[in-house]
A and B are shown apart, each in its own frame.
Chain A
Amino acid sequence: MNLVHAGKRPLIRCQECDELFVVPDAPDKTTVKCARCGAVLYKRNTRSIANAFIFNLTALILLLLANSFPFLSMSIEGSVQTSKLISGALAVYRQGMWEVGLLVLLVMIVVPLAKILTNLYVLAPLHFGRRAPFAEQAARLVELISPWSMAEVFLLGVLVTCVKLADLGTIKVGVALFCFVAMIVAMAAGDAANEPREVWERLERSRPQPLPDPRERKRLLSCHVCHLVCRVDPHTEDESAFCPRCGATLHQRKPDSLNRTWALVIAAAILYIPANVYPVMTVVSFGKPFVNTILGGVQELISSGMWPLAVLVFFASITVPMLKLVGLIFLLISIHRRSRWRPADRTRLYRIIDAVGRWSMVDIFVLAITAALVQMGSIATIVPGVGAMAFASVVVLTIFAAMSFDPRLIWDAAGANRD
């Protein structure tokens, strides 16, 4: 039906460098990338909604199963401690660190579940050729919470914990762990299949627009959520304008990006010190505490001969937060200095920082699972340390920092978007 008039086609702006493109007529099963910075604009797949729906449905079944059966059980000298998926969060909560417990509960169970359910709510009617009420809001919610679904990081935490505790007792893997692994695979498949642009286009098609005059380009704002390119009248620019498709506020750039990012980065950098100095967990044995810092945890893995795992934990816990902080500071300074140096590479650096940040949560998960498994009364109890809270804050703050950073500013500063 969609008649394409000559010279009038839907437009798309790159979310990372703000380059304006005409949506190409891409064939099925291809990826459309930004010609300037290399960011993925969208993927073209006619089966994307069907597949995403099916995989999300699978993930939902598996997540329910993973929550209802024993996850891990550990026997130390005849004392068997069986834990469920939720036990780690509860154990940390019971030890008096409810903030960390809540965070673990959110990123491990609540957010994945919410993401799957919302996805299904949007996808299922679309798959059957209908649309659910408030589907746009639901789709916006998915975009909002997706970065906080960290089930796969939790799985790495399980692996590290098992290796660490293997010497202490016998660890038995429960059926829920298998379900959990399968759920992560299904979720990853669902995420891979899901193409937000396809969803948005199904909800409401982007209208073809005439290729604008170069001077008018600034008036074509791209929605941060649904990526719809909207024309904003000059006189309304100072007031809030809303996306006609998803209802999100329209901005030229992420609001107050540099200041927000600076504030969050500095806060994270300050907390990074107590996160490494103070113990992440304390083993209280016969009333005597033995403190365990993040670096100490890596040392333990090395001294146990677990080199690959030590490298992995060192990377996730020490390098990644450091890289994020240093990288973001570097990007911020380069923008302030209006650097023209390799904007495409700097955009790529930002992409990496954004993607890798979540893996730092692994230490918090290790703490939670260990606390859930090692409960031996007066002989040994795991108590979360102050460092755990500081570290969790660093991870959360750096994720927020990366979210509030607008990579388009790199290109603005480099003078590439002077149209």
Chain B
Amino acid sequence: MTEEKPAVSQDDLPQAAIVEKRRLPSIVWLIPLVAFLIGVWLVYKTYSEKGPTITIAFETASGLEVGKTRIKYRDVDLGLVDSVDLSKDLSRVVVTAEMRKEIADQLREGTTFWIVEPRLTASGVSGLGTLVSGTYIAMRPGPGKAARKFTGLTEPPVLTVDVPGSRYKLHASKVGSISAGSGIYYRGIQVGQVLGYSLDDDGRGVTFTAFIAAPHDKLVRDRSRFWNASGVDMSLTSSGVTVRTESLQSVLTGGIAFDTAREFSHTEQSPEGKGFPLYESFSQAEEAGFHLRRPFLIYFNGQSLSGLDVGAPVLFYGIKVGQVSDVRIMIDPKTGLIKVPVTVEMEPQRLNFTGAFSMTEAEMESLHWKYMKEWVHKGLRAQLQSGNLLTGQQVIALKFFPKAAPAELDTSGKIPVIPSEPSEFKELSTQASNFLAKLESLPLQELINDLRHTIQSTDRLINSKSVKDAVTSLKEVGPLLDSLKATSDTARKTLAKAETVMTDADRMVGEDSQLRYGLVQMIKELTDTSRAVRTLADTLQRHPEALIRGKEGSKK
């Protein structure tokens, strides 16, 4: 900036300093300032809310999408997948996720992660919702020190949230139809689940981990018995057809039931982690309650033992007091003598001695021994009986035969021997052969000759006029006819009874049976579900635009 100097010389005067007027910045500058402050605040807010970053190692990354897959616990979003990479040795997939700040303290060593996607499991179809919402990673908090590196589970755990309760071990010989997720029932109510199973170290059996949710875990006591309630426990035994199911669910997906005998219902809850045997069926579990067993031998000389199976009951007054544990044929190598010993196990606890509650097991056994001896002395004998005419099964009955030849309980061998009596069928056949022998000794030829002679003379007599007159006067035929009618009535009643039996059998799978009702109900539910899925699929196939503008119904 140059100023034209005036012509007049004023060199001796000092020049005044020219200072440009300092202007304040315009008010418009507030606008970028505000924008800048908002920006700073947003950035600060984002970084202050930034949660911890964790890595989870998975087997596969199936369905995981960067920036989309969420990490959820109880269906609440806790984080978002940032990246999905392979580990350096390509053995695993490493998922990096950013978690919410609030959850930082809950990320501990015991925290588990697994991928939730649609899957078909023992307890039904799960994760169907993820078909629409996409796969997500589920999380379950666990104990331990704070951690940021985790290993994901390959299979989702049975319990996805923390539920109070107790875990127990159940030992069985094989897995059968039970799997992780199978229900555990107490009197038909589901109170827990099977969490998983593993092969025992010695490879001789499997151990299930059972989880019983509180407060039902109190029902597990040291004397509780667990049995496999999977499927339909249908047995055709000497006592008929028995059908037993726990619930429809357990029929389909397997299940375990347990119960405690009434006399132990006052005992304390078993400590967590205690092991129990898992019986194959309810009846086996029931048997297991009578754990006192005393073996006895019985020889049924010369009788066929077909139909006498291991497990066949030993009845006393028609009530089971023991069972057959072994049937075998033994031949003396020197004499060639054939013996067929039947080993039975008597269960003293089944005898229910008065005041048995206060009795020790030893007392009970000695009492049983004492009375067995005494009863055999008084005529107690074992006898084969037909248990079921239809199947030809046989049972062993203990009966008093006062007329039997005197005998004692043979205690000379390792196992005491109960003397036997021939079966009723054998008695019958003995009588029949006696009868035949008598019949044979009759002078038949003479009798026939006499008979022929008699007929000839009778013929002559009938044809005579006097007899004809007599016959016309014969009128007392009525009573005979009456008795004939009674006989036919009885036959009809028998038929009716047979029909009732058939109807019973039919009802088991008939219109109004519970089993059938359950099945029909289940099929209906399955049909409804598949129909709903099909409708959704159809709608989307025919009108994918519904995704763009909603369903017809949602229009204003």
What sequence of 0s and 1s flags, for each residue 511-538 of chain B, a beta carbon within 8 Å of any chain A beta carbon?
0000000000000000000000000010
List of 10 A-B pairs having minimum Cβ-Cβ separation, nearest first? A167-B550, A285-B544, A78-B133, A290-B544, A79-B133, A77-B132, A58-B32, A57-B32, A61-B35, A283-B544
A64, A65, A79, A303: most-surrounded residue (chain B CB, <10 A) = A79
With contact pairs A65-B42, A375-B68 given, residues A300 and B32 touching in the complex (Cβ less than 8 Å): no
**A residues in contact (CB < 8 Å) with B:** 47, 50-51, 54-55, 57-58, 61-62, 64-65, 68-69, 76-82, 164-165, 167-168, 175, 179, 182, 186, 283-286, 288-290, 292, 300, 303-305, 370, 374-377, 379-380
Partner of B32, one of A54, A288, A292, A305: A54
Partner of B549, one of A47, A55, A79, A300: A300
Chain B 459-475 residues near chain A, CB threshold 8 A: none
Docked complex Cα distance between A186 and B33 (Å): 13
Note all chain B residues with C-beta closer than 8 A to A175: 42
CB distance from A256 to the nearest CB of B (A): 43
Partner of A64, one of B39, B46, B77: B39
CB distance from B55 to the nearest CB of A (A): 21
A-B pair number, CB within 8 angstroms: 108
Report the nearest B residue to A57, measured CB to CB. Answer: B32
With contact pairs A65-B39, A286-B537, A300-B548 given, residues A376 and B555 touching in the complex (Cβ less than 8 Å): no
A65–B38 touching, CB < 8 Å: yes
B133–A77 touching, CB < 8 Å: yes
> Which one of B23-31, B200-208, B268-276, B439-447 contacts A?
B23-31
Docked complex Cα distance between A305 and B131 (Å): 31
26 A–B pairs (Cβ distance < 8 Å), ordered by A: A51-B28, A54-B26, A54-B29, A54-B32, A55-B31, A57-B32, A61-B36, A62-B39, A68-B43, A76-B132, A79-B134, A80-B70, A80-B77, A167-B550, A167-B551, A179-B38, A182-B35, A283-B544, A284-B544, A286-B541, A286-B544, A288-B544, A292-B548, A376-B547, A379-B547, A380-B547
**B residues in contact (CB < 8 Å) with A:** 26, 28-29, 31-32, 35-36, 38-39, 42-43, 46, 67-68, 70, 77, 129, 131-134, 537, 540-541, 543-545, 547-551, 554-556
A167–B549 touching, CB < 8 Å: yes
Note all chain A residues with C-beta closer than 8 A to B132: 76-79, 376, 379
Note all chain A residues with C-beta closer than 8 A to B555: 303-305
B133–A304 touching, CB < 8 Å: no
List 17 extra interface pairs beyond A164-B549, A304-B550, A380-B540, CB under 8 A: A54-B26, A54-B28, A57-B32, A61-B39, A78-B132, A79-B132, A283-B545, A285-B547, A286-B541, A288-B544, A289-B544, A292-B545, A304-B549, A304-B555, A304-B556, A305-B556, A376-B547
Docked complex Cα distance between A82 and B67 (Å): 8
CB distance from A54 to the nearest CB of B (A): 5
Report the nearest B residue to A285, measured CB to CB. Answer: B544
Docked complex Cα distance between A405 and B29 (Å): 40
Docked complex Cα distance between A146 and B120 (Å): 58
B544–A380 touching, CB < 8 Å: yes
CB distance from B260 to the nearest CB of A (A): 44
B31–A58 touching, CB < 8 Å: yes
Partner of B68, one of A81, A167, A304, A370: A81
B31–A54 touching, CB < 8 Å: yes
Note all chain B residues with C-beta closer than 8 A to A380: 540, 544, 547
CB distance from B278 to the nearest CB of A (A): 39
B540–A377 touching, CB < 8 Å: no
